[in-house]
Structure 1
């Protein structure tokens, strides 16, 4: 049996423990591998691009796979699976779980459990990646930024999916995709290499496709996503009342597909559109709108003017 709407998770009523043990040594190694190798590729990208194999095929493949996997996370992992902002057909639901997994940010059930826990304890003790857990001095904020951006992933504690994602644990399709994560990791790295090789009909095209549209693309997407956890809880505009320090940070709006309108999101988490004010670009919301028009998405939670008005701070009206 499948449950489309995520359960309400509250910090003060906990039928299940917060954590579910620790990551194994193998899991810790893989986390470090997936975080470090793409990051090293990104660090090498600029000098390698200078006079080395970067062509239009590589750029096109990188943009395509970035867009595909980023939307898998923003529309799938985040707005659909975590917050139930819309209901999806079975085919779309599986497709979103697969493309989100190809972002190499972890299996779908663990990702959703971590993010629901983040909302339940936002910027308080229990939040897995708040930058405000160590104080407000310059040194504490530097430590908090590192922790929120990527340091939290290297901790061994695991969020308990039985408490934070029981609907996904009970979903046969999603459990299967969750188990496919290692295979989908291979696909997300090897598919650009295959495409680059076929489009250029050369081993060199396969190599540059693997590097630019595989490793570098994953690294850029990682840091954009992690910046929503770190930067968007530290600096930016806060036009809406929220329980935490979430902020809207416009420079990331396009690269994050609308996720950096983070204060708006925390003010109304189940809303399918995060860029709720005039001029706020939200590519993810446009894709959800298209899914609705095609009949693949129903029950879409669009912004309600009266609800937004109640949350809008008096100084920003």
Structure 2
């Protein structure tokens, strides 16, 4: 009989299954390199630069209120409910148009498209259940290094698990379009 710790570390079955990854005996969560990702870097640096240089001259209290409402809607409804609860964990069912609206609003957060979000989440979950994993995946580089890595880099594992977002997502033309055009 498996212990709770064994069941928790088993990413291939049970309640802690990592949905989108196919784990093989060759999959390795430790060996790999952090590489600069120019597209991600320029996107994030550009958004920060626009905010720092344009926002002070455009500030109004009503603009701040609109920002707060949209931040709440995209982070809570889009990222947390649409991306995390619906796509990653598939923890609830809803009409397809509701799912798409939630996921689309999640892309407005600006992190990436739906496939990247699913892959990043499941890869981190799987890696953190191993006896050791790359510092990028365990957030072991310290606050500033982790922030730089998250905003400007990507991890290239030497032997990553295979990724498949699964039926209803991978084969959905709308999700493929959203992944290509999220920016």
TM range (shorter): 0.5 to 0.7
Partner of 2:11 in structure 1?
A: none
1:120 paired to 2:104: no
Greater RCO (Cα-Cα under 8 Å, separation 6 or more): 2
SS at match of 1:110: helix
Partner of 2:105 in structure 1?
A: 99
CA-CA distance at 1:60 after TM superposition: 2.3
TM-score, scaled to structure 1: 0.41
Deviations 1:246-298 (A, max 9, x none): xxxxxxxxxxxxxxxxxxxxxxxxxxxxxxxxxxxxxxxxxxxxxxxxxxxxx
Q: What is the distance in 2 between the residues matched to 1:16 and 1:57?
A: 55
SS at match of 1:166: coil
1:145 paired to 2:147: no
Change (3 A) 1:112 1:13: closer
Q: Which runs of 5+ in 2 are unaligned?
A: 1-15
Deviations 1:189-223 (A, max 9, x none): xxxxxxxxxxxxxxxxxxxxxxxxxxxxxxxxxxx
* Aligned-residue CA RMSD (Å): 3.8
Change (3 A) 1:118 1:33: same
Partner of 2:46 in structure 1?
A: 37
Which protein shows a greater Rg? 1
Change (3 A) 1:64 1:172: same
Partner of 1:79 in structure 2?
A: 85
Change (3 A) 1:18 1:34: farther
Q: What is the distance in 1 between the residues matched to 2:89 and 2:102?
A: 14
Q: What is the distance in 2 between the residues matched to 1:15 and 1:169?
A: 24
1:17–1:160: 8 Å Cα contact kept in structure 2? yes
1:181 paired to 2:179: no
Q: What is the distance in 2 between the residues matched to 1:107 and 1:90?
A: 18
Partner of 2:69 in structure 1?
A: 64
Q: What is the distance in 1 between the residues matched to 2:80 and 2:135?
A: 20
Q: Which runs of 5+ in 1 are unaligned?
A: 1-6, 133-142, 183-317
User: How many residue pairs align between the two structures?
Assistant: 159
Counterpart among 133, 137, 142 of residue 129 in structure 1: 137
SS at match of 1:157: strand
Q: What is the distance in 2 between the residues matched to 1:17 and 1:125?
A: 11
Q: What is the distance in 2 between the residues matched to 1:164 and 1:16?
A: 17
